[in-house]
Every structure is written in structure tokens, then in C-alpha cells.
Amino acid sequence: MTGKTTKKSGKPSRPSTATTKSGGKGGSKPKKTAAKTSRKRSSRRGVSKLWVMLIAAATGLTAITLVWALNLAPVDPLPSDVATVDKPVRQTISASAPTPAARPESRTTRPATQSGPASSPVPAPAQSDMVASLVAPPATNHVRARISPDTAPADPSRRQGLVYEIFDEELLEQQVKEVDLALVQTIIELNLDPRSVRHLDIQMKTRNGQKYHTQSLAIGLNQDARSFEQTLRRNLELWMHGAELRQINGGPGKQEWRISLLNLPTHTLFLEEHPRKPPPPSPARPGAGPQLVVVIDDLGENVHQAQELAALSFPVTFAVLPNISKSREVARIGAAAGRDVLLHQPMEPLDYPHRADPGPGALFVGMEDGQILSILRDNLAQVPQAIGINNHMGSRFTADELGMSTVLQELKRRDLFFLDSLTTGNSVADEQARKIGLEHLRRHIFLDNIPNVQAILFQLRKAEQLAHNQGQVIAIGHPYPETLEALKLWERERDQRINVVSLGSLLSRRSLAER
């Protein structure tokens, strides 16, 4: 019976062997199921691992693609909060510059100790090249002069590392300049002939102790006034949010518009469609009539540029930076051409060291008198042709009574004078100079806050009208190729009733310093 049963089963020995090997009583059927389950689990684990690897690879590829795309995306190298106003910044901090923590915000006595030099240079932000088309700035009270990079010239490294100091943001005059930029943008966009824009009147006014200019302009249009009004309104919204533009009166082919800031009228525009070209003015008699001085700051790097400035038919005053590779040679070129030469003395700006560095040989608030005098004398020795000095940056230092008193006393001892570039409305230079009887002058207008030829020509014509109104004007520019090109164009078409004179010629007439 047993044998029969064994025969029917047909597999008596395998279960026995398996049971023996396994040491249990499970028989062949359960063991086979466990083996299959194990193989299935292994297969599933393999598939899961494969999916994990595929997902990881796809994620990595996506990340790499995203990084590549971000690197290719156009990035504005100039931070949005950097204003383009006064002077180009060099990358190196003066060895004698104290750290920001060592400079007290306000003081009445000179500190007894001075902190050590800055340990590392502060890199200046790169700036997009500046050419024809302006772009809208962020909505702040600072003057911006940023130009669209989409039409950048072939040499993008020309102004790498140049940024501009921030003016005192509370100056109403800076808001007036924002409106000027909107006007210039409108003129460029509509392709108007810059010679059809004439300054009829410019007046200096005061509100809450702040001085600002009001202007009246005649603008000849080659199209209907409606197009000009719409373009200007859009640019005002971009450049000076809050500026009000409204029509005062109008007739066939001629309209009057007014721009106001904080309910203060600042610009009156007389728009004339297809105007007739006015006759050229008769030239001024030598030594008579309004006087205009052109000063070019930040010279000392480019000898060829200095030679071109010296070759202009009208005098240009050379303001030469110290501790620059060609400072001595540039000063010699200016003096040999009979041009006035100034030491362009670097001074601490308000936003040092975060966004502006005045460079080597700078004077800082908190320095001892001896340290100020040592730096100033060393810088003057590099520019022995200097008949005076003006400030490079300096919106913080020129507001410091103790520091400016030390500087001006040294200038008086050397029979030199001071030209205040007025990078802040809080400058004490005028007050301190009067106390000691030092001859001093003040800047009236910057020519190239926008390094664009047409914008600079606009500023030159504004300076001409200002000279007609007040007799004397000092205009300051910088050694941009655009500034030199604009000066060459202006040389041929400038108002001949204006005498362009040297800076030193104003020293015997104190009326300008009295203003």
C-alpha cells in the first residue's frame, strides 16, 4: 500500500531530500512558492532601482540645463541702487583710508587715535556701457544715467569698473535733473534736431533752504505736439514718478506746457510745430559778455585724450587726479598748452566703501590734521602746475568742518584756491573759505551725467543760457569719448555771444563766489 502510494505520487524522494536539507516539514510546494516570491521581489527591487536612477539622471540634467540657461540670461552688471552722478571710481582703496567703523558720524573735536588702513580693496560694480538709448531707472530720488546695453559699442571694457557717486538724495535739484533726463530721452526717441531745443530762461530759486533751477525751453517739433506730449509723459513716469505735466495754453501749431514737482513749477515748455530756424547770434566782443568755464575732471590716464582737449579752440581747465599712471604727463600737457591745471583731490563720499571708492590719496573724515596735510602735500607735489584744487567725490568730507578747515588753511598758505564740485548740498567749503578769506568758486552744472553726445550738448546749451542769466558759469565734465565728441561739435555751433574763459580768469572777480 505504501509502495503504491509512493508510485502514485511519483516524487517520493525529492520532498524527503528537501525536507532533510531544510530541516523542516514544509514539503516541496511551499519551498517552491517562497523561491518564486524571492525572485519576484528581487526583480521588483531591480526595476525600482532603475527608476530611481533614471529620475536622478533626469533631475541632474534639468538642473544643469537650468544653470546653463541662467548663465546665458542677460544680467545687468550694475546694481539698481547705484547712481551715475559725479565721478568714476577706481578699484583700489587708499592705504591711508581708515575703516568705516573708525570714522565717527559726527564730532566736534578731532579724535586722538586713528584706525589702521583698509585691509582689502572694495570692488566697484561693473557698469554697462553707455550709448544712445536711455533706460528707465528705479523710482528713487537719485540721479541715474544708465544707458541701454542693447546698442553697446564694440569695446565693452571701456568703462568697466566705473561707477558714480550718489548725490545727497534730499536735494530738490536732483529731482529737477531727473526731469531733464526725461526731456533728453524724449528728444532722442523722437529724433528731434537738438538745435531746435533752446533754453529761453533759467532761474535759481530756493525752497526750504534747498536751491533748484527753473527752466523755460522752446522746442521745435517735426511732428504734431500730441506725439511729443505722450512720449514725454511716459518718460516722466519712468524717470521722475510724481512729476506733473499739464497744458497751460495752446493754439494752432504752438502750445505751452508746464512740469511741476511737489506742486513747484520747474519746467515751462513752448512747443512749436515746424518752426523757422532762428538766425545765428552775433559773436561776443572779447572780454565782454557772459563767461563760461569748462572743467574736465578725472584726467591722468589718457595722454591722447589730454592732447585733444588741449587742441580745442577754447580753453579747458585740466583737473588731474593724483597717483595715476600719467598724472604728471597730463598736467604738463595742459600747462604747455596754456590751460589752467587743478589737483583733482580725492575725498570721502557718503557711500564709502559700499558703492563708491575715491581711490588712493583720498582724504577721509576722522583723519588727524597731520595725516590730511601729509596726503594733500604729497598729491600737490605730483601736480606742481596746479593753481588750485577741486574735490573728487567728497560728498561726506566737504560737509566736515574740521577736515575742510585743515585743507583750506593749507591752500591759503600756498596761495591756491578751491573749486567746490558741490557733490552735496551740505558742503561747508563756502562758509569755511569766507572765514579765512580764501578765494573759492563753485560748480554750477555737470555736463555728462548721461555720457551721450546729444545729452551733453543739451547740458552745454543749458550752461550757455545760465551764463546769459547770471554772467558766469562753471561747467564740469569727465573724460568720456562722448564728452570730447560733444565739445568738438559744440565748438562749431556754440553761442558766439558767450566767452569761454579759463577758470583762473574768474578769480579776480568775486561776484561768482558771492552767489
Predicted confidence (pLDDT) per residue in 250-305, tens digit: 877 789 999 999 889 999 999 998 776 665 666 666 667 899 999 999 999 999 99
pLDDT band of 93, cuts 50, 70, 90: very low
CA distance 269 to 357: 39
Helix (H, G, I), strand (E, B) or coil at 119: coil
Q: Are residues 437 and 484 in the same domain?
A: yes
391 domain residue, yes or no:
yes
Element (H, E) at 199: strand 197-207
312 domain residue, yes or no:
yes
Say if strands 388-393 and 341-347 run parallel, antiparallel, or are unpaired: parallel
Which tops the pLDDT comparison, 302 or 152? 302
Q: Are residues 315 and 258 in the same domain?
A: no
Residue whose grid cell is 569727465: 478
Give the type of residue at 404.
M
Contacts of 339 (CB under 8 A, 6+ apart): 309, 310, 315, 316, 317, 318, 502
Give the type of residue at 3.
G
DSSP state of 98: B
Which tops the pLDDT comparison, 12 or 182? 182
pLDDT at res. 288: 72
Q: Are residues 261 and 336 in the same domain?
A: no
Biggest CA–CA distance in the chain, Å, is 148
Q: Are residues 231 and 322 in the same domain?
A: no
Average pLDDT of the residues in 464-486: 94
Which residue, 127, 213, 201, 227, is CA-closest to 480? 127
Q: Are residues 205 and 243 in the same domain?
A: yes
For the ranges 147-151, 181-185, 454-458, the lowest mean pLDDT is seen at 147-151
CA distance 158 to 161: 9
pLDDT band of 454, cuts 50, 70, 90: confident
CA distance 295 to 289: 20
pLDDT band of 90, cuts 50, 70, 90: very low
Beta bridge partner(s), residue 202: 215
Alpha helices in 298-350 (DSSP H): 303-310, 327-336
For the ranges 19-33, 314-328, 455-469, the lowest mean pLDDT is seen at 19-33
Give the type of residue at 492.
R
Average pLDDT of the residues in 167-175: 65
CA distance 456 to 448: 5
Q: Are residues 406 and 356 in the same domain?
A: yes
Q: Are residues 333 and 264 in the same domain?
A: no
For the ranges 9-18, 56-65, 237-246, the lowest mean pLDDT is seen at 9-18
Beta bridge partner(s), residue 221: 273
439 domain residue, yes or no:
yes
Question: Is the predicted pLDDT of residue 89 greater than 90, yes or no?
Answer: no
Question: Is the predicted pLDDT of residue 71 greater than 50, yes or no?
Answer: no
pLDDT at res. 41: 59
Domain that holds residue 357: 291-514
Give helix then strand counts, H and E, for the chain. Answer: 13, 14
For the ranges 118-132, 175-189, 334-348, the lowest mean pLDDT is seen at 118-132
Question: Is the predicted pLDDT of residue 340 greater than 90, yes or no?
Answer: yes
Compute the mean pLDDT over every residue in the chain, rounded to the nearest whole number. Answer: 75
For the ranges 36-40, 95-99, 237-241, the lowest mean pLDDT is seen at 95-99
Per-residue exposure over 172-183, b if at least 16 CB sit within 10 Å of its own CB, e if not: bbbbbbbbbbbb
Beta bridge partner(s), residue 294: 475
Q: Are residues 390 and 492 in the same domain?
A: yes
Helix (H, G, I), strand (E, B) or coil at 78: coil
Average pLDDT of the residues in 76-94: 36
pLDDT at res. 40: 56
398 domain residue, yes or no:
yes
Cell triple for residue 313?
579752440
Highest mean pLDDT among 144-148, 155-159, 393-397: 393-397
Q: Are residues 387 and 486 in the same domain?
A: yes
Cell triple for residue 349?
563720499
Contacts of 411 (CB under 8 A, 6+ apart): 388, 389, 417, 418, 438
pLDDT at res. 55: 77
Contacts of 300 (CB under 8 A, 6+ apart): 320, 321, 322, 324, 325, 326, 327, 330, 344
Contacts of 340 (CB under 8 A, 6+ apart): 315, 317, 318, 334, 387, 502, 503, 504
Is 100 in contact with 160 (CB distance < 8 Å)? no
pLDDT at res. 173: 79
Average pLDDT of the residues in 353-361: 87
pLDDT at res. 78: 33
Is 442 in contact with 512 (CB distance < 8 Å)? yes
Average pLDDT of the residues in 2-25: 44
Q: Is 119 exposed, middle or buried (0-12, 13-18, 19+ CB in 10 A)?
A: exposed
Is the peptide bond preceding residue 353 cis, with omega within 30 degrees of 0?
A: yes
Domain end marker among 245, 273, 301: 273
Give me the number of domains the chain comprises: 2
474 domain residue, yes or no:
yes
Question: Is the predicted pLDDT of residue 16 greater than 80, yes or no?
Answer: no
Highest mean pLDDT among 31-35, 111-115, 150-154, 429-433: 429-433
Q: Could you give the percent of the chain with pLDDT greater than 90?
A: 46
Is 451 in contact with 483 (CB distance < 8 Å)? yes
Give the type of residue at 509.
R
252 domain residue, yes or no:
yes
pTM of the complete model beyond 0.85: no
Which tops the pLDDT comparison, 330 or 93? 330
Q: Are residues 302 and 264 in the same domain?
A: no
Q: Are residues 219 and 335 in the same domain?
A: no
pLDDT at res. 157: 33
94 domain residue, yes or no:
no
Terminal Cα-to-Cα distance of the chain (whole angstroms): 137
Question: Is the predicted pLDDT of residue 317 greater than 90, yes or no?
Answer: yes
Q: Are residues 341 and 442 in the same domain?
A: yes
CA angle 169, 184, 191 (to 5 degrees): 160
Question: Is the predicted pLDDT of residue 412 greater than 90, yes or no?
Answer: yes
Average pLDDT of the residues in 325-351: 96
Residues listed for the chain: 515
pLDDT at res. 106: 41
pLDDT at res. 229: 93
Residue 511 CA neighbour count, 13 Å, CB half: 8
pLDDT at res. 401: 96
For the ranges 70-84, 212-226, 447-461, the lowest mean pLDDT is seen at 70-84
pLDDT band of 450, cuts 50, 70, 90: confident
pLDDT band of 35, cuts 50, 70, 90: low
Q: Residue 333 maps to which CATH number?
A: 3.20.20.370
